[in-house]
Structure 1
C-alpha cells in the first residue's frame, strides 16, 4: 500500500467511523464515487487500519484539521500532513498539494495559479493527470529571474500535464511606477486574463513570509532595503500574489503595492475555492494573517506548522 492509498483510506475511515458520515456524504465530500467509498472502507478493515480506533500516523493530522476548521470558521477544508524527517518540507508539501489537486479537480476546471517554490514543487509532483482539458490562469505578473518559480513556467507545466491551456498576465510582477502598472492593467489582453481569473473555480497560492533570506522578492531583486524596512515598519507578516498584509490580514498599502501587477487580494477574498499551501516556522504568522484576512478557505500545511498556527490562534481569540 503506497502513501497515497494510505492517505485516502485513512481519511475515508475517519469520516465514517469517527465523524459518523454516511458513505454518500463521504463520496460527495471527497469527490469520489460511493462504490469506491465502500471498497476503501472494506480495505481499511481488512488491512487493520480500522480496529476499535483508527491506527494510522495520519489520524493525528485529521484531528488537527478538525481543530483548524473549528478555530477558523472560514476554512472550508484543510489537509495536514506529517513532516517526514527524511524528506524536505517543500517536497512533502508538493506531494500533498499534488494529491489534493488530483482528488478535487474535474474535467474542464479553471484554476488560478501564482508563483513560488512550493507551487513549483506541486507541479513537479504531479506525474499523471486523472482529468483533462483544464484551463490555468496566472494571477500575478512574471518574474525577471528564477525562471523555475515563475507563474508562467508553473502554468505551462500544469497545462501540459492536464492536456489543457494556460492564460498569462503579460507584464512583470513589479514595475517602476504606478502609472506603468496602470498601463499594463488597461491592456485589453490583461483585462481579459483578469476577468478570466475572477471566474476560477479553484486557485492555488503560495504564502510568502516577510523574510529577505527566503522571499522570492529577494531572489528577483524586486524589493530594495528601504522597501523591506517600510514593510516591516507597517507590520507586514506575509504576502500572496505579490501583495503584503499584516497579522490581522489587513492589506498594506505602500509604493510597492501600487507597482504590483496582479489580481487584487480584495478579489481573492470573493473567489470560491482558494487553496493556500505553505509550511515551516517562518510561515506561521503569514498563514495566520492569510486566514484572518479571508484570503484562503482551504489550507495545506504540515503537522508542526499547523500545531503552531492553532497555538498562536488560540492565544489571540
Structure 2
C-alpha cells in the first residue's frame, strides 16, 4: 500500500505535468531525480487511480469505431464521419469532402487514379479542392456513356476531377451496361475500349461506392435495371454492387447475365488494384458493405458513424 508521502509526490508530479504543462525533464530537475523516475511516478499514478485520463471530444467515439473496424477486417485505413443531426444531403456532402481530403493527401506515387460512378463519387468530385497533380492520370474503371444523369457517369466524373487536378484523363467510350453479352464482347474488343480497360487494370488507386440493388439504387433510377432484373438478382442472392458488378452475401461476384453485360473491371480485377477506397453512406447498405468487406474488395473505408456503429454491433 502506498504511503502518504508517495501519494503526495505522485499528486504533485501529476499536477505539474497535466495541469501546469511542465515537461518530465523540468519536473525531474525540480525534484532532483532522473527523468525515468518521473515517468514511472506518472505511470504508477494512473495504475493507482490517482490520475484518470478522459478524451472529451465528439470524435473520440468515431476513433474508437475506426479502430474496431480496422482490426476486425484488416483494412489499411478507416475514417468514420460524425453525422449527428445532418440532413441526408449534408451527410453526403460531408462524406465527399472527407473522401476528397483523403485522396488529395494520399496521391504521392499514384500515377493513375481510377473512378467508378454514382452519387457518392459525384460528391467526392464536387468537394475535391483545386489542387494540381499533373502527374496523376484519371481512368474510368467502368463504362460511362448515356443521355440520362450524365453528371453521374464515370467519364464525366473523370473529366471534372482531371480539370480540378490540372491533369489528364482517359474516356471509356461505352455505357456501363449494354443490351447483350454479344454486344459487350464486340465492344470490349475494339481498340479504344480495350486500351482504356487495360489502363484501368494497371491503376495505382481506385475510388468506388457501394450500391444496394433493392433500395435507392442509382442503377435502377438511371434505367440500367428494370423490375424483372431486380427480381432475378434477388433470386440469385445479390446483396450489393461495386462498379455495377453484383456480388452475394459472402462477397463473391455473381455468375449472372447482368454482370456479363457490364463494360468495366470485374471484381477480381478491382481486388488486384493496390489501393481501393470505398465511400459508403446509409444504413440500408449495411449488408452490402458486410459482404464487400468479406470479399476483401476494400483497403480504405470512409463511412458514416451510424453505419459504423451498426457494423460494429453486427460483428464485434
TM range (shorter): 0.7 to 0.9
In structure 2, how many angstroms separate the alpha carbons of the residues matched to 1:307 and 1:138? 32
* Aligned equivalent of 1:63: 64
* Aligned equivalent of 1:6: none
Q: Secondary structure of the residue that 2:247 maps to in structure 1?
A: strand
1:214 and 2:247 aligned: no
* Aligned equivalent of 1:76: 76
Q: Secondary structure of the residue that 1:296 maps to in structure 2?
A: coil
Preserved contact between residue 288 and residue 313 of structure 1 (Cα < 8 Å): no
In structure 2, how many angstroms separate the alpha carbons of the residues matched to 1:160 and 1:95? 17
1:151 and 2:154 aligned: yes
In structure 2, how many angstroms separate the alpha carbons of the residues matched to 1:225 and 1:155? 30
Structure 1, residues 222-273: CA drift from partner, whole Å, max 9, x if none?
A: 1121110011111111101111011210111211111111111111111110
Q: After TM superposition, list the pairs within 5 Å mapping 1:127-146 onto structure 2.
A: 127-129=129-131, 131-144=133-146, 145-146=148-149
1:270 and 2:276 aligned: no
Q: Secondary structure of the residue that 1:205 maps to in structure 2?
A: strand
Structure 1, residues 17-70: CA drift from partner, whole Å, max 9, x if none?
A: xxxxxxxxxxxxxxxxxxxxxxxxxxxxxxxxxx94443321221111110011
Q: Secondary structure of the residue that 1:176 maps to in structure 2?
A: coil
Q: After TM superposition, list the pairs within 5 Å mapping 1:1-317 onto structure 2.
A: 52-73=53-74, 75-87=75-87, 88-106=90-108, 109-129=111-131, 131-144=133-146, 145-211=148-214, 213-314=215-316
Structure 1, residues 107-142: CA drift from partner, whole Å, max 9, x if none?
A: 763100000101100111113216443211001011
Aligned residues: 262
Question: Larger radius of gyration, structure 1 or 2?
Answer: 2
Q: Secondary structure of the residue that 1:206 maps to in structure 2?
A: strand
In structure 2, how many angstroms separate the alpha carbons of the residues matched to 1:130 and 1:58? 30
Q: CA deviation at 1:180?
A: 0.6
What is the TM-score when the length of structure 2 is the normalising length?
0.79
Preserved contact between residue 269 and residue 295 of structure 1 (Cα < 8 Å): yes
Preserved contact between residue 267 and residue 297 of structure 2 (Cα < 8 Å): yes
In structure 2, how many angstroms separate the alpha carbons of the residues matched to 1:151 and 1:313? 33
Structure 1 stretches of 4+ with a deviation exceeding 6 A read none
In structure 1, how many angstroms separate the alpha carbons of the residues matched to 2:191 and 2:142? 16
What's the C-alpha RMSD, in Å, of the aligned pairs?
A: 1.7
Q: Secondary structure of the residue that 1:191 maps to in structure 2?
A: helix
- Compare 97-106 and 243-252 and name the one that shifted more: 97-106
In structure 2, how many angstroms separate the alpha carbons of the residues matched to 1:93 and 1:143? 25
In structure 2, how many angstroms separate the alpha carbons of the residues matched to 1:108 and 1:228? 37
In structure 1, how many angstroms separate the alpha carbons of the residues matched to 2:125 and 2:105? 15
